[in-house]
Structure 1
Amino acid sequence: MQDVWPTVRSERLALIADLEGLTAEQWATPSLCSGWTVHDVLAHIVATAKTSRLGFVRQFARARFDFDRFTANGVERERADTPAETLDRLRAALDRTVTPPAPLDSRLVEMIVHGEDIRRPLGITREYPADAVADALRLQIRTTAGFGGGKELVAGLTLVADDAEFTAGSGPQVRGPLLSLLLIASARGIAAADLHGDGLDTLRQRLGSGVA
């Protein structure tokens, strides 16, 4: 497995650069994460960047082993009074290499998928390293929905990237940009507009029925 931390650091830096100078209205923009603003997603990224394996166990216990409560607590903890302060907290965590108890490639999912949760509603584009997107996608398609993945969503389908050498799965094809395949495997339905293939209708149905 590649060392993910240089990529994670570069993605943290890129996100900081993209968010500097946002207006108050932009910070309040709804993200791709239901119920969360752009500022909320940033706070979640900070919380995860600061959470070690031991810290996760402690915080999860405090949340009474409720993952949604655990996540909400992290956002509340790291969402400062102003977005600028929250952004400073990400700067302070720039070089941190701790992780919750999850595969290291989940750190790539965190920065790329949540990066898009923020960027797409703001109309900001970024070209991510293709190898990192591919590794994140491989993790998502073998991770169950209960842990934030898309295993059930893409079961029985073949994902094919039109812009990279990536093919995974078997069955009817869903084709499109590698990044959009990662987003759809992370249950971001907005990415379906970028995709095509004879498996797309099945994927849309699953998204609509809440499979992921």
Structure 2
Amino acid sequence: MSNAVSRDELWGLVHAERAALADDLAGLSAAQWAQRSLCGDWSVEEVVAHLTAGASTGRFRWLISVLSNRFDFGKHNDRQLAAHRGSTPAETLERFRAVVGSTVAPSGHTAAWLGEVIVHGQDIRQPLGLPRKPSIEAVTEVARFFASRDFTVPSHKSIQGLRLEATDGPFAIGDGPVVTGPTIALTMAMAGRTTYCDELTGAGLPTLRGRI
């Protein structure tokens, strides 16, 4: 796959991944909605509300929220989450479905917002044992973005001096001790999800695991 992916194509991938996640959420029980995700202390429902907030908040509203919370990004995220969470899980899902096709985002880094739905989608699916994985096309774009810079997580810093090679797609980057595995596992590891290190192998894995 070429590196030259247009913004419209990236948004198409975002919308497809949101729709797939919404479909996966449709059959969850109350206990599953309350299940703790891989994203800190947030439950599955809270992660979904967070995704809705991100797809509903443009740059200006994001800046106002950050300023009003005195650059406390944890408080900013919690308040945004609460504002977009429904009174029931069904309402939370309905609100998420309403933004599946949104192109609203706090910044123009479209690959980052593709990463948002892919990473948080797996934050939900992995603890629930849901088998669906994002498309290789979408995950490859996120892996490339994460490897190129530190955005919301120190993904670039975590892989410095290492060589990452996907076993199921074209993603490969860096020089040094090798870390190999599925593209989604490499991506989730760069996003700081240590549990995905169990799906990786190679001489560079102890270094990567230690950094995240």
SS state at 1:152 partner:
helix
Give the deviation of 1:142 after TM superposition: 2.5
Give the deviation of 1:102 after TM superposition: 4.6
Identity across the alignment (%): 40
Offset from partner CA, 1:100-130 (integer Å, 9 cap, x none): 1251101110111110000001100223221
Is the Cα contact below 8 Å between 1:51 and 1:99 reproduced in 2? yes
Residue 131 of structure 1: aligned partner: 137
Poorly superposed stretches of 4+, deviation over 6 Å: none
User: Which structure 1 residue ranges, 5 or more long, are not aligned?
Assistant: 208-212
Q: What code does the residue aligned with 2:70 have?
A: R
- How well do the aligned residues superpose, as a CA RMSD in angstroms? 1.3
Paired with 2:199 and 2:178, the residues of 1 have a C-alpha distance of 14
Is the Cα contact below 8 Å between 2:48 and 2:92 reproduced in 1? yes
Paired with 2:33 and 2:22, the residues of 1 have a C-alpha distance of 13
Paired with 2:107 and 2:113, the residues of 1 have a C-alpha distance of 11
Residue 88 of structure 2: aligned partner: 82
Are 1:41 and 2:47 counterparts?
A: yes
Are 1:71 and 2:72 counterparts?
A: no
Paired with 2:127 and 2:133, the residues of 1 have a C-alpha distance of 16
Is the Cα contact below 8 Å between 2:143 and 2:171 reproduced in 1? no
Paired with 1:152 and 1:69, the residues of 2 have a C-alpha distance of 25
Matches within 5 A, 1:179-190: 179-190=184-195
Matches within 5 A, 1:9-158: 9-144=15-150, 147-158=152-163
Is the Cα contact below 8 Å between 1:56 and 1:101 reproduced in 2? no
User: Which structure 2 residue ranges, 5 or more long, are not aligned?
Assistant: none
Aligned with residue 177 of structure 1, among 178, 182, 185: 182
TM-score, length-scaled by structure 2: 0.93
Paired with 2:208 and 2:101, the residues of 1 have a C-alpha distance of 38
Give the deviation of 1:131 after TM superposition: 2.0
Q: What code does the residue aligned with 2:72 have?
A: D
Alignment size in residue pairs:
206
TM-score, length-scaled by structure 1: 0.93
Give the deviation of 1:56 after TM superposition: 1.0
Are 1:6 and 2:32 counterparts?
A: no
